[in-house]
Structure 1
Amino acid sequence: MNASQPSPLELRLSAYVDAQTGDGDWHDVEELLVNDPQVRALHDALRHGSEIGRRAFDDMLKEPVPLDLVRSIKNAPLPRRAVRLPQAPRSGFSLKPSGVRTFIACLSLFVLGGAIGYMLGSRPAAPQGRVAIAAPAQAARDWLDDIIAQYRLYARQTNHLTEIPAERAADILEWLTTNTGISFRIPDLQGSGLVFQGARMFSAGGTPAGQLFYRRIDGDADGDVIAITFTKTRPAGNRSLEEIRNETGIVTWVTPLATYMVVGPSSAADLDDIAAKAAGLI
């Protein structure tokens, strides 16, 4: 393979990290992440590189432009015209650049060029035999996307749905409370046709999050997985919300100490009812 070109797998994972994967390929990539440790390691490396690049770019843009450069750009003489062109009829609008316009244009080109050069120059070299890929930006991705991706990754699993099974409820309480800093109870939702299966912990937007899994045991949606997730990250405006992303529904409520959410298939019409019951039990 040409070392200058990324492999098809790396391109698929880059699109997945950037939340630009089609519905069909999205399911295939998630299956690979569940079943192949090497794919998971490559996914984590791409995502980590993307976060580092974004932070470096943001930090660079905060640096002040040197005063000497600003003065030299502002005081630079305009180029002389080699040929005097016939004058067009005068109007209220002029394309002749002013000193201010010239300064703004030059300064913009400097910042853009400096950003590109900085990112290319600071990127570590790829190990021998490996492919170096520019990690995609994640400006459109947020911590709720991480929660939904985690849910979708495991909701279709049967033997590997949870890290700690429901039978070890005391271990779940101690483990998640210690690592998330959130005290909670495991809600009994059998009245809603949901049986507790166990729990997982993961990172959402760089903050630890706990996830309790339930499986539906009655009705037309028998077998569907519903998750209750909690984290200390606050949503925009510090307010509750209901929305659908990537065929996944999410109902969020906020307390002074944590943010909680019920996550499930977008076809589930009772997510808000489950959230109301869980809020009073957790």
Structure 2
Amino acid sequence: MELAPGGAPAYGMSMIELTDEILVAYVDEELPLEARLAVEAAIARDPVAQSKVRDMRETAALLRSAFPEEEPRDGTDNVVLLKPRPKSHLARNPIILAGLAAAAMVALVIGTGLSAYPSHGGRADFMADVAAYHSVYAAETEHLAEVPASRKDHIEEWLGARIGLQFTVPDLSSEGWMFEGGRLLAEADQPIAQLLYSAPHRQPIALCITRSDQTESSNPVQYDPGKGLKVAAWDDSGYLYIVVGALAPTELDRLTQEVRDHFQHA
């Protein structure tokens, strides 16, 4: 694509490369008027692009429905209050949620790179996204996990190889949570191991593990995206650990400590 001075894309009527990034910016109404008109004309001539635009708009609508914005509430000093970002720019980098019922969603997407978020400000945006897609898949029962708990050894080998970390699945049964299985997520080219747990009459919770740009360990930070969900995240030895679910802060503290102890003494 031709670049304007300063490295910005130069949009013209004669030739537009309808990349996913351009289409997302178009759907989000982030393009300047001239560029928007040029992209709109190109989309009108491209059935594949038209289909992508429809999918992106449907994804944005589903996210808005599943996770509507609400005013942040008062919190304690160690809780970062979040406002979810349901716009379709979450479609910039796909996370495949394999196994979800097709009527609910085939794929949900996250648009912010993990490695770009070493600080609370940027990472908070990612945690809001994590909570947003968790609110969708947590409603699943039959298709909750891609690989069931009965294949725990395989999950450990498979997901461990994908993220470059040899690990065993934490046992959270002392806190009332039973391991249900796992799935592989991907943010751009960065794999994320997701371990899923359930408890009677409760929404499932998830533990996500992926590489972090932070080499030093950090204390857990809680994030409050609203809608009853809570998220805790911390760094340890080059990996980012995330616990997400409909949990009271004290319960989240206990689960976080249980998971930390497991990996520190593994």
Q: Cα distance 1:249–1:164, how it changes in 2: closer, same or farther (>3 A)?
A: same
Letter in 2 for 1:169: K
2:244 to 221, 245, 263: 263
Q: Is the 8 A contact 1:146 1:204 kept in 2?
A: no
Q: Deviations over 1:155-203 (max 9, x none)?
A: 1111000000000011101110111112221111111011110001102
Is 1:36 aligned to 2:102, yes or no?
yes
Match of 1:151 in 2: 134
Per residue, is there more strand in 1 or in 2?
2
Q: C-alpha distance in 2, partners of 1:253/1:38?
A: 31
Q: Which residue of 1 aligns with 2:68?
A: 22
CA 1:209–1:200: 2 relative to 1, 3 Å: same
Give how far 1:142 is off: 4.6
CA distance in 2, matches of 1:38, 1:148: 17
Q: Could you tell me how far apart the structure 2 residues matched to 1:20 and 1:195 are?
A: 25
What's 1:275 paired with? Answer: 256
Q: Percent identity?
A: 24
2:66–2:132 contact (8 Å) kept in structure 1: no
Unaligned runs of 5+ in 1: 27-32, 52-138
User: Which of 169, 172, 175 is the aligned partner of 2:158?
Assistant: 175
Give aligned pairs, total. 180
Q: Cα gap change, 1:223/1:22 in structure 2, threshold over 3 Å: closer, same or farther?
A: closer
Q: 1:141 to 1:10 in 2, by over 3 A?
A: farther
Aligned to 1:229: 208
RMSD: 4.3
- For 2:105 and 2:178, how far apart are their aligned partners in 1? 32
Q: Which residue pairs with 2:221 in the alignment? A: 241
SS of equivalent residue, structure 2 residue 238: coil
Distance 1:181 1:147, change over 3 A: farther
Q: 1:188 to 1:201 in 2, by over 3 A?
A: same
1:11 to 52, 57, 64: 57
Q: Is the CA contact (8 Å cut-off) linking 2:124 and 2:223 kept in structure 1?
A: no
User: 1:39-188 maps to which residues of 2 (within 5 A)?
Assistant: 40=106, 142-188=125-171
Q: How far does the alpha carbon of each residue in 1:7-64 deviate from its partner, in whole angstroms, 9 at most, with x for none?
A: 887534346679996369x7xxxxxx943389647x76xx89x99xxxxxxxxxxxxx
Distance 2:204 2:172 in 1: 13
| The one of 228, 236, 250 aligned to 2:231 | 250
Give the counterpart of 1:216 among 162, 180, 199: 199
Residue pair 1:146, 1:205 contacting (<8 A) in 2 also: no
Query: In 1, distance between residues paired with 2:193 and 2:165?
Result: 9
What are structure 2's unaligned runs of at least 5 residues?
Answer: 1-42, 45-49, 71-85, 87-98, 114-121
The counterpart of 2:176, out of the listed 186, 193, 201, is 193
Name the CA distance, whole Å, in 2 between partners of 1:168 and 1:228.
Answer: 17
TM-score by length of 1: 0.51
Question: Residues 241, 161 of structure 1: CA spacing in aligned structure 2 closer, same or farther, 3 A cutoff?
Answer: same
Give the Å deviation of 1:238: 7.1
Task: Name the CA distance, whole Å, in 2 between partners of 1:143 and 1:204.
Answer: 11
